[in-house]
Amino acid sequence: MKAKELQDLIDFIAKSGLNKVNIETEEFKINITRDASQKVSYVAAPAAHAPVAAPAAAAVSAPAAAPQAPSAPAAAAAPAAEGGNYQAIKAPMIGTFYRSASPESPAFVNVGDEVKKGQVICIIEAMKLFNEIEAEVSGKIVKVMVDNASPVEYDQALFMIDPS
């Protein structure tokens, strides 16, 4: 099944209001069950609208943006300047970032925590599937780059880690 066909199927099921769908062909079998008490909502990706607005905004506010431009790279270089060789742990997918398994649970990791390679550090929810994200390297968490329950883009930095 192609990605477009799968997306069309998901859209159809979401719009139909069905709580249970079973589809079986010679190639695959899909069973989808949805909790009727949950509300399904779709959030448009913020990046989808940014390219349209960015050129117009850049043309109008180019003089105002020029003084701010040097400070942005300086802010990005600040973690390295603080004496650390920090590495970013990045989002492997788009979705919603969660620091803990549930609102009542403590965060998987906090600033200052030592983590080991393969340790679960957060969850990214994508299409009602909760994906555990593991640390790619061992080290100490020095900064959390994303707020809890915020949307994240593919390859966006989630945590800064000091691997030393």
Rounded Cα gap, residues 95 and 130, in angstroms = 9
State yes or no: pLDDT of 104 exceeds 50.
Answer: yes
Spatial separation of the C-alpha atoms in residues 126 and 97, rounded to whole Å = 9
In the chain, where the domains are located? 3-33, 46-162
As a whole-number percent, the residues of the chain with pLDDT over 90 amount to: 43
DSSP reduced 3-state for 43: coil
Read off the amino acid at residue 47.
Answer: A
Provide the whole-model pTM: 0.51
Whether 42 shows a pLDDT value over 70: the answer reads no
Domain 46-162 has CATH 2.40.50.100: yes
* pLDDT for the residue numbered 37: 52
Side by side, the strands of the sheet bearing 139-144 are 87-90, 157-162, 139-144, 114-115
CA distance 4 to 25: 17
